[in-house]
Structure 1
Amino acid sequence: MNDISGDDNEPIGLFDYNAYTPLGNLYNGNNRLNAFHINNFYTKETPVTIEVQDSYDGSVNLIVIGDEKTPIIINSGFSVLTDNKYKLTNREQSADTNKYQVANLIEQLSLIRNSYAANGSEIKLTNIELSSVKTGGQLKGGNYTFYLKFGDDDYNQTDIIAESRIVSVFNGTDCIPSTISGTLADERTDKMVELEIVGLNHVYSKLYIYYTREYSDVQGYRMTEAGVFVEPFEMTTGDSQKV
């Protein structure tokens, strides 16, 4: 491959079919990209199956499955254009997810992200705990249940991995029972909810919070609505995080 034009973010190049050039998307302890070789994961004697999958930005994913190894997924880092040309694709999220680091290849490439960290230690179960219900918000009244999904830098999400207990939001305060009253339909309160996520899995970088709300309509019928916070929360360091 030879760069011929384009801007600094996504240069365009010309394929050289007379020479073999491996993927150049691996940082090897420095700030320069190096060739990515499959022997970073497998020996030459290991039989592997490689499947090609289109990705959202015109590049392709290589899904590599080998004996007794966790399947891995490698993004090519470029898309194919006409006239034997290619374009390098940069993913400008919180991390450039098609550029890889030798130090954490397992976390970046593992297709199956389970309950074990890269060093083999077991990750704690994740829980959603209620930190507080306090004034200063505009939540609709009702009984809320919150759900958590983890996400990576490409905004891929896990299945639901944690569920909170029921959190009741109403007018008044339980410190003064005489002030407590329920709400109807979409009536808002002056309340906000603070949750604590305990047992963060730092294979991921984002927290997606979903919820269901049970409430009474104006006729007294029990109703349920569901939703999600529009923007995910960026995961912080440490074992727990308040949201």
Structure 2
Amino acid sequence: MPSALITGATAGIGAAFARRLAADGFSLVLVARDEDRLGASAESLRLRYGVGVEVLPADLSTDEGLGKVEKRLAEGVDLLVNNAGFGHPGSFLDVPVAGELRMLKVHCEAVLRLTMAALPGMRERDRGAVINVASVAAFFTRGSYSASKAWVVSYSESVAAELTGTRVRVMALCPGFVRTEFHERASMDTSGIPAFLWLSADDVVREAMRDLARGRRVSVPDLRYKVIVGVGRLIPRGLAGQVSRRLGRE
């Protein structure tokens, strides 16, 4: 039975990955900070899909939490989904430096360290995959959030290039606005976001798994966002940044 470790696994895109992978017969390792919620999610998945589910409570903004997950990854998994992440409301200039550093720890350092912990075993077996969840914000300019997600995309592409000739794949997943707890947790006002821009987490995961199977290094789910990213690459970055600031993050 193949195995998958998912960070940020109890809600939103992470929970959607857990459901999809359990349905596909993967045993799961669920990582999140809330131990009670982890337990409830694991029990639900076991009952519904009949798969093995481990829980690993860990705060990825701390070295202790990262170390726990690195140790588990060194034991071997077939798929790593680096999904944990968060946003800040308002302008990044209003966010305390400590908050920005915590974001970089989770979005960048955790992605790097956990990917590097998983890859040796995958390379030795010559199979496996890593999905690093970024955002369409990576292609626009909006503070530390978009900068951190741009790093995730660039890092994922670089690692994927290094693995050319092997059967180990690395892909950056760049969804747009997804109906999850992300914006509520960050106290973001989403009232100005047009309804047609919202995606479901399950649809995002379905397209991500399809793109991974096709060997894509960057996945942008949904035609709407493929067009937005394509247009964004053609217009001046200053104008793209203004549009991004109006719409908000993610």
State the TM-score bracket (shorter-chain normalisation).
Answer: under 0.3
Give TM-score scaled by structure 2 length.
0.21
Tell which has more relative contact order, 1 or 2 (C-alpha 8 A, sep 6+): 2
More strand by share: 1
Larger radius of gyration: 1
TM-score after normalising by structure 1: 0.21
